[in-house]
Amino acid sequence: MRAISGLWRWRRNPLCRATDLAEAWLALAALLLVLLAAPLAGALVGGAAQDALQRSVREQHQARHLVTATVVRTLDRSPLDADPETSTGRDLRTRVLADWAAPDGTARQGPVLAGLKDPRQGDEFRIWTDRHGRLVARPLDSATASTHAVLAGFGAALVTGGLVEGGRRLIVWRMVRRRYARWDQAWDKAGPDWGRTGTGS
């Protein structure tokens, strides 16, 4: 809005310099770019991220399987978890030795973090594996993927707006430096006679 009011104020003003008008037009162009290019960049990046993440969600859900594991015995705490004071409230997982069957039918056994408060031999819990029975992380869900895509789009819009504003400021800075250089040249031409009435006549 400042750019529009600046253009209106300078349109027929005798004190208007060419650089003032150029700054006002530059501000208006930057405003239009921010209003048009930033949302467009956000939509393009967000859409591309959504497509890629949803494809990844589908691939992960096809490649990962939820199987039932059975506790064989409880294992000692991991050396990384030696201090019980540092564990958070959400770390309600216990290391156990467990048996499970892979989706291809092979029997597997290994240390697993079980989400059981007090695991005992024979207790069952669910784990995610690949098709060969190797432990994998839980697959990404569709809602989380969409949230990440929205954040990517929002970030791209902010970066685009920041680049436009940064470019505008850089151009204005160069214009001001050029203006000051011209003023210095004008003062040098005026020389020591400035302010002395009748000098040099």
Give me the pLDDT at residue 52, please.
Answer: 95
Instruction: With cut-offs at 50, 70 and 90, classify the pLDDT of residue 83.
Output: very low
Distance CA 132, CA 104 (A): 6
pLDDT of 3 > 90? The answer is no
Give me the pLDDT at residue 180, please.
Answer: 87
Give me the pLDDT at residue 94, please.
Answer: 82
Among 58-67, 86-95, 148-157, 186-195, top mean pLDDT goes to: 148-157
User: Is 6:24 a contact under the CB 8 Å cutoff?
Assistant: yes
For 84, 87, 118, 152, the CA distances from 92, given in Å and listed in that order, are: 11, 9, 10, 32
pLDDT of 8 > 70? The answer is no
Per the confidence metrics, is the pTM higher than 0.85?
no
Task: Render pLDDT for 143-179 as a digit per residue (tens, 0 to 9).
Answer: 999 999 999 999 999 999 999 999 999 998 998 888 8
Collect all residues with Cβ–Cβ distance below 8 Å to 18 and sequence separation of at least 6.
none
Instruction: With cut-offs at 50, 70 and 90, classify the pLDDT of residue 198.
Output: low
Give me the pLDDT at residue 4, please.
Answer: 53
User: Is 67:135 a contact under the CB 8 Å cutoff?
Assistant: no
pLDDT of 68 > 80? The answer is yes
Collect all residues with Cβ–Cβ distance below 8 Å to 108 and sequence separation of at least 6.
99, 100, 101, 102, 129, 133
Instruction: Pull the structure tokens for residue 146.
Output: 């969409």
User: Is 133:103 a contact under the CB 8 Å cutoff?
Assistant: yes
pLDDT of 128 > 50? The answer is yes
Instruction: With cut-offs at 50, 70 and 90, classify the pLDDT of residue 192.
Output: low
User: Is 93:64 a contact under the CB 8 Å cutoff?
Assistant: no
Phi, psi of 200 (to 5 degrees): 80, 5
Instruction: Catalogue the E-assigned strands of 77-186.
Output: 94-101, 107-114, 124-129
Task: Render pLDDT for 84-102 as a digit per residue (tens, 0 to 9).
Answer: 444 444 456 788 889 898 8
